[in-house]
């Protein structure tokens, strides 16, 4: 997937389809917006940038942690073979599933639970995208990333994180690159922040 293909598709994809009635009018703004349950959908420019950095292709098996509204899931599903997406809040997962199924996507598999543990039954994944802030890269996700694969994940405390791009070479050796500062909602679960002392 390249920039032109992504932007052609992104321009046609109405973000309003992934928002509730109260926020739908704001869909065109390049702003994060609330999706209920204290969660947010990122600004579109960041979603597109992360999709480009991950750069899935038609052979990619993708793991997504944090289904949320399903907007990012749609972009991933459009450009990859299959997407395994995990969300901890059942209502959000169900809503996203209804939307994506009514749009005709049949290459997405949904799971409700702690995505920081990954989805070992379908591993390894060529691409892993995490859209909630982790304390560090979850060990399980690193293990489930295929050799030659790429992961993108915000790492850091709830206030501000570093967006990290992790690549595993053919031999399984991982290297990390920091892209920029970002702000995501926190990952809750085994690698979340809820039990961390400075969260109070």
Would you name the residues annotated as active-site residues? 42
Judged on CB neighbours under 10 Å (0-12, 13-18, 19+), 132 is buried
Q: Is the Cβ–Cβ distance between 171 and 147 less than 8 Å?
A: yes
Least distance CB 165 / ligand SAH (angstroms)? 17
Applying CB under 6 A, does 114 fall inside the site for ligand SAH?
yes
Q: Does 95 bind ligand SAH (CB under 6 A)?
A: no
Q: If you ran DSSP here, which 8-state letter would residue 38 be given?
A: T
**Count of residues that interact with ligand SAH, criterion CB under 6 A:** 25
Tokens of 104: 């005709």
Closest listed residue to residue 51, CA positions, set 140, 168, 150, 145:
150
Residue 110 contacts ligand SAH per CB under 6 A: no
- 89 sits near ligand SAH (criterion: CB under 6 A): yes
Residue from 77, 92, 163, 166 binding ligand SAH (CB under 6 A): 92
30-69 footprint of ligand SAH as x/- string (CB under 6 A):
-----x---xxxx----------------------xx-xx
- C-alpha separations of 55 from 1, 6, 45, 65, 89 in Å: 6, 10, 15, 16, 27
Binding residues for ligand SAH, rule: CB under 6 A, are 35, 39-42, 65-66, 68-69, 71-72, 86-89, 92, 114-116, 131-132, 185, 187-189
């Amino acid at each position: 997937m390249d920039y032109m293909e992504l932007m052609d598709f992104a321009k046609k994809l109405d973000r309003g389809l992934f928002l509730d009635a109260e926020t739908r009018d704001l869909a065109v703004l390049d702003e994060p917006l609330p999706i209920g349950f204290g969660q947010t959908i990122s600004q579109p420019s960041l979603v597109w940038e992360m999709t480009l950095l991950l750069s899935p292709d038609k052979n990619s098996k993708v793991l997504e942690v944090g289904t949320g509204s399903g907007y990012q899931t749609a972009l991933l599903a459009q450009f990859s073979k299959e997407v395994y997406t995990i969300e901890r809040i059942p209502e959000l997962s169900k809503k996203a599933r209804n939307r994506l199924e009514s749009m005709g996507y049949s290459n997405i598999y949904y799971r409700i639970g702690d995505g920081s543990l990954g989805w070992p039954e379908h591993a390894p994944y060529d691409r892993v995208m995490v859209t909630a802030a982790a304390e560090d890269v979850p060990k399980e996700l690193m293990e489930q990333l295929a050799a030659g694969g790429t992961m993108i994940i915000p790492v850091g405390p709830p206030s501000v994180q570093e967006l990290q791009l992790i690549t595993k070479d053919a031999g399984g050796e991982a290297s990390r690159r920091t892209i920029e500062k970002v702000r995501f909602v926190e990952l809750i679960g085994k690698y979340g922040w809820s039990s961390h002392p400075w969260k109070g």
